[in-house]
A and B are shown apart, each in its own frame.
Chain A
Amino acid sequence: MIRFNEDRRRLLQALGATAALGSTSLLSGCATTGQGKTIGRVVVIGGGFGGATAAKYLRKWSKGTIDVVLIERQSHFISCPTSNEVLAGHRKYETLVHSYDALRKNWGVKVIQAEVTGVDPVRHTVSTDKGEVIPYDRLVVSPGIDFNFGAVAGYDAKARESILHAWKAGPQTLALRQQLEDLRDGGTFVLSIPKAPYRCPPGPYERTSQIAHYFKTHKPKSKILVLDANDKIISKTKLFADNWAEDYKGIIEYRPNWNATEVDAASRTLTSEIGDKVRGDIINLIPPQTAGQIAHQAGVVNANNRWADVNWITLESTAVKDIHVLGDATLSAPTMPKSGHMANQHGKAAAAAIFETFSGRTPQPITMANTCYSLVDHRRAIHVDSVHRWDAEKKTVVPVPGSGGVSTAPSIEEGLYARAWAQNIWADSLG
């Protein structure tokens, strides 16, 4: 395989133009004769909603002429969306877990389970903890978020054994569910929400509704205390406020502008930046976030030392050439949320841009859309959605005036759509 790449490079040097990448003879050569010519090689780091989708659609749209290697450290995809339902006992954990086999079998993506240890943007290589050095023409970095535990004093490795975030689905999801099951009736669950931007804006509020439903039906004397570093519920504001007032009266207490800066794990106490203290039986502390570590390592994190600024036509980094960044790791465009749905859209936009470039064409802006469903109990859901279009003057994507919106009220109908959405986006990203 390396040979193909070198051959192609030599050919390119000889021709002195990247446009040669797209020569149709190469393309149809692959498609019709089966001799395995490629028009380019892409390495994707991270198999979440962004990276998996990019890998699939690169293969699909190029009709197999782009060689795609996906490097993911986990053996399986574990979905954050719908994981709040697991906490409430409304969904089996196993339904969050999905295999990468379909990407391999259906699309010919080479999926490698490994940890990326380095990116060399000059030599165009990625190295892994398995000792592999993998060359790329384009690199797609889709690492999701990492936590800034340092922003909360006392949130060290020891504290993290009992103070959970459960903001990446996986073992923490199960552990927090266990804490909820073990809680005595009459206990207090404290949820601490960081200042925006963070992954999944409505997620903490959905979690509140989900756990409130569990308390209401299983531990009716128990309480939820929501400590929000933001000045209000930042997503589906009125819908959540109404849901809590109407369905979970007396269970949920909401305190805005409560920014947790210290935790004492032993006494399960949070301290705010102005010195207020709160004790709870369970502390669910979601820390502030930043682009995944590998994005920092690759040098694409150029906004506040937290996020990766990208060109919103191609998703290419504005800091490093030939590296595209997707999903939660990006410096979000105006009003664009950090969501799985959005990351899937980023993956498609990047796949289209890379395929167009390899084909000798200029990538065109692509309209993107978002939807976040939230379950407010065991069967009713609400949503927020938006459509984002390229604005040539502002050089970014902006919401289309008059489009998008939220539900009028929670409904069973939307509960069905929310669950269908999860099934369908898992299949669209991984299947």
Chain B
Amino acid sequence: MKAFATPLLGCCLLAAAQLAGATETPRPTPYFAANCFNCHGTEGKVNSAIPAIAGRDREYLAEALKAYKAGTKPATIMHQLAKGYTDEELAILADYFSRQK
């Protein structure tokens, strides 16, 4: 069982590293933002044909998501996915991804 000592150490190194990068005001994690990670990369960070959305301008992301939902922005898939979320949730997503660095 001593084998289990290692991950603990890893845990706290990791935790310390993540704390260092944390924002001032802790907010509850909007877990549903992770729905987007499958395609756009964990925390929206990715280098692929599917665009990265981390650290992009909040207004831009909010506009894009609203337009997808309204069906006014051309898309292969985002117009269908955006309709699954409330306007409020889309605003939360835009804000969340704009803050990922």
Contact = CB atoms under 8 A, between A and B. Distances in A.
A400 B80 CA distance: 11
Contacts of B12: 30-31, 33-36, 64
A110 B77 contact: no
A385 interface: yes
Given A417-B77, A423-B48, A108 B85 contact: no
A348 B10 CA distance: 21
Given A36-B9, A389-B84, A424-B46, A367 B4 contact: no
A304 interface: no
A344 B2 CA distance: 30
Contacts of B38: 341, 344-345, 371, 421, 424-425, 428
Nearest to A364: B31
Given A414-B76, A428-B42, A369 B15 contact: no
Contacts of B10: 64, 107-108
A4 B11 CA distance: 14
A107 B14 CA distance: 7
B42 A1 contact: no
A85 interface: no
Contact of A67 (B7, B29, B40): B7
Interface string A1-12: 110100000000
Interface in B10-28: 10-16, 18-19
B1 A366 contact: no
Contacts of A428: 37-38, 41-42
Contacts of B13: 34, 64, 108
A349 B31 CA distance: 8
A50 interface: no
Given A385-B81, A389-B84, A405-B80, A2 B1 contact: yes
A68 B7 CA distance: 8
Interface string A388-431: 01000000000010111101000101101101110111011001
Interface stretch (A14-22, A55-63, A251-259, A325-333): A55-63
Contact of A427 (B19, B29, B42): B42
Interface of B: 1-16, 18-19, 29, 31-32, 34-35, 37-42, 46, 48-50, 76-77, 80-81, 83-85, 89
Interface of A: 1-2, 4, 30-36, 38, 57, 59, 61, 63-65, 67-69, 107-110, 341, 344-345, 348-349, 352, 366-369, 371, 383, 385-387, 389, 400, 402-405, 407, 411, 413-414, 416-417, 419-421, 423-425, 427-428, 431
Given A404-B84, A405-B80, A414-B76, 17 more contacts: A1-B4, A34-B16, A36-B9, A61-B29, A61-B31, A63-B18, A64-B18, A69-B7, A108-B8, A108-B10, A345-B35, A352-B29, A367-B85, A371-B39, A402-B83, A403-B81, A411-B76
